[in-house]
Structure 1
Amino acid sequence: MSSRIGNYIERLLNAAALKRWSKRANKVASIGLGELRSVRGQARDLRVQLDKFIFEAEGRLALPFVGSNAMQLPLYTDWSYRPEIWRGPITPLGASSVLTKARIGNEGTLFHDCRESELTYRQVRNISDMDLAPFGLRLDVFRFDGSFLSLAIDLPNDVCDGLSKRHVLRLDCAVDLETPIEIFARLNVKHGPNLEQVVREVPLTTDDVFAEFDLAYTKLNEKRVEKVWIDFIFEDPEMNQIVLRDLTLSRRPRAEL
């Protein structure tokens, strides 16, 4: 009974607030400047909270669900991960004139050597029935006077646990391009003072877009693995829109040589 009364009172308060702001909107031209500044401040504070609520609500109500970890994984996978950018909302959602080493969420970093940045990024909501990831990342590149553009994704520490030369790391992604370009993925494994790097081209002309990194051919010191990250390297990205709709990584033991 008390909850119904509470809901009724809340509906009345919401209706009163809507009526009050509707009245203010209709009379904004006749409000004195002093009062207008005060009311504008109230409206801005209210808009921040409303925008936050709407974003979170749409994220929860839309498909795929925010936080979804649904993945298509190879057999014998012993570790898998979808980075934060593709799993849940990040702050800020986007930026323009992005400088080099700009952080994207807690795990991504954008690198370039442009003298004048005409790069933007924005986290977008995936809505296709084919998408497994709740979010995607859109990069808009206009004039590009640099020699490289890359996106680094830090992987969590648990990927290092038990990582050995018997492992194959696999990167799966879904990419939309406005204009075809070449994209490379570079696996970086820091072990002690050394760094192992393996580069693979991401094949964008096939249905399954993935790259695999076989650690058997590296000089990995299995006892000193400290950090693992992935670099996406975009060749000639000028005047292009790149949408990374999904990105997942997995690890599995390879067959003995």
Structure 2
Amino acid sequence: MGKLLDRYNHRRVVDRWRKALRKADATPEQQLRLQRDDARKLRTLLDMLIQEADNRLTHPRTGSTQIPKPLGTDWIWRPDLWRMPLSRPGVASAPRKAQMDRQVTLFHDCALAEIGIRQTRNTRDTDLAPYGLQVEVFGFSGSFLSLSVELPPEASQGFTRQHLVRVDTLIESELPLEVFARLNIQNGPNTEQVLRKLDLSSQSCSIDFDLAHLPLNEARLEKIWLDLIFENPRMNRVKMRDLTFCRHHRADL
């Protein structure tokens, strides 16, 4: 009975606003002003409800931490940009340093900032990350375009050269594109780097950074970050549906 009454009341409210819309061109200005104010208040509440419903009902759900990991993994992480909505979802004309949040920053040296970057919502059944990142480039006369992702302090805790750092990406591009991943490890006054090329023959790509050969001072690890470097990105749209990190021990030989 309660549900029937709710539906009846809902129809009455909808009919009321439909009637007000039909008569809006002839409604006295004072009454029309009151209707407008009431409609704005109602719209705010409806927008808030729609946003909350989208976050709960659209899959994958906001905040998802579902991440594939190999055996021996002792740390996993998906950056916040791929998990939660940003307060500022995008930049239409990105400056040479465009910080999306405290972890992700876009860098370039193009004189004309014909570069757009924005967070997007993933909705495919196969997506594990709730959000993605889209970079759209028009004219590009610069020498580099890169996306820097700073890993949290937890990534450095217990870190040794016996670890492998795995990066999993899910990247789509309108045109063929070369992307390089460079892992940077600051330890004391030195910064060690390992460069790998991503294999984009399929959308999903996994790479392991082997650190055994690096002269790391494990007691002085200060900062770890990843640079994704896009080669010749002109007139291209790149969408990163997911980006995850994990740290696991090298298999015993």
* TM-score tier (shorter): 0.7 to 0.9
The separation in 1 between residues aligned to 2:235 and 2:30, in whole angstroms, is 46
Q: Is the 8 A contact 1:166 1:256 kept in 2?
A: no
Q: Is the 8 A contact 1:169 1:213 kept in 2?
A: yes
Match of 1:183 among 179, 190, 197: 179
Deviation at 1:129, TM superposition (A): 1.8
1:135-187 residue CA offsets vs partner (Å, 9 max, x unmatched): 11111111112211111111111001011111110000111110011001111
The 3-state SS of whatever aligns with 1:244 is: strand
Q: Is the 8 A contact 1:84 1:106 kept in 2?
A: no
The separation in 1 between residues aligned to 2:80 and 2:131, in whole angstroms, is 9
- Please tell me whether residue 202 in structure 1 is matched to residue 191 in structure 2: no
TM superposition outliers: structure 1 runs of 4+ over 4 Å: 7-50
The 3-state SS of whatever aligns with 2:212 is: helix
21-30 or 50-59, larger mean C-alpha shift = 21-30
Match of 1:126 among 108, 122, 126: 122
Q: Is the 8 A contact 1:67 1:87 kept in 2?
A: yes
144-153 or 163-172, larger mean C-alpha shift = 144-153
Q: What residue in structure 1 maps to residue 213 of structure 2?
A: 217
- Are residues 78 and 239 of structure 1, via their aligned partners in 2, closer, same or farther at CA, if it must alter by over 3 Å? same
- Please tell me whether residue 62 in structure 1 is matched to residue 50 in structure 2: no
The 3-state SS of whatever aligns with 1:60 is: helix
Deviation at 1:12, TM superposition (A): 9.4
Deviation at 1:201, TM superposition (A): 0.5
Alignment of 1:18-97 (within 5 A): 22=18, 25-26=21-22, 29=25, 47=43, 50-97=46-93
The 3-state SS of whatever aligns with 2:81 is: helix
Percentage identity across paired residues of the two chains:
44
Match of 2:154 among 147, 152, 158: 158
Q: Output the amino acid matched with 1:181.
A: L
Q: What residue in structure 2 maps to residue 3 of structure 1?
A: none
Q: What residue in structure 2 maps to residue 227 of structure 1?
A: 223
Q: What residue in structure 2 maps to residue 169 of structure 1?
A: 165
- Are residues 227 and 13 of structure 1, via their aligned partners in 2, closer, same or farther at CA, if it must alter by over 3 Å? farther
- Are residues 193 and 58 of structure 1, via their aligned partners in 2, closer, same or farther at CA, if it must alter by over 3 Å? same
Q: Is the 8 A contact 1:149 1:233 kept in 2?
A: yes
The separation in 1 between residues aligned to 2:185 and 2:227, in whole angstroms, is 11
Q: What are the ranges of 5 or more consecutive residues in structure 2 without an aligned counterpart?
A: none
The separation in 1 between residues aligned to 2:143 and 2:26, in whole angstroms, is 55
Q: What TM-score results when the alignment is normalised by the length of structure 1? A: 0.84
Deviation at 1:205, TM superposition (A): 1.1
Q: Is the 8 A contact 1:69 1:82 kept in 2?
A: yes
- Are residues 104 and 10 of structure 1, via their aligned partners in 2, closer, same or farther at CA, if it must alter by over 3 Å? farther
1:189-213 residue CA offsets vs partner (Å, 9 max, x unmatched): 1112211111111111147511211
Q: What residue in structure 2 maps to residue 252 of structure 1?
A: 248
Q: What is the aligned-residue RMSD (CA, Å)? A: 2.9
Q: What are the ranges of 5 or more consecutive residues in structure 1 without an aligned counterpart?
A: 1-6
Q: What TM-score results when the alignment is normalised by the length of structure 2? A: 0.85
The 3-state SS of whatever aligns with 1:169 is: strand
* Aligned length, in residue pairs: 253
- Are residues 95 and 207 of structure 1, via their aligned partners in 2, closer, same or farther at CA, if it must alter by over 3 Å? closer
Deviation at 1:38, TM superposition (A): 8.9
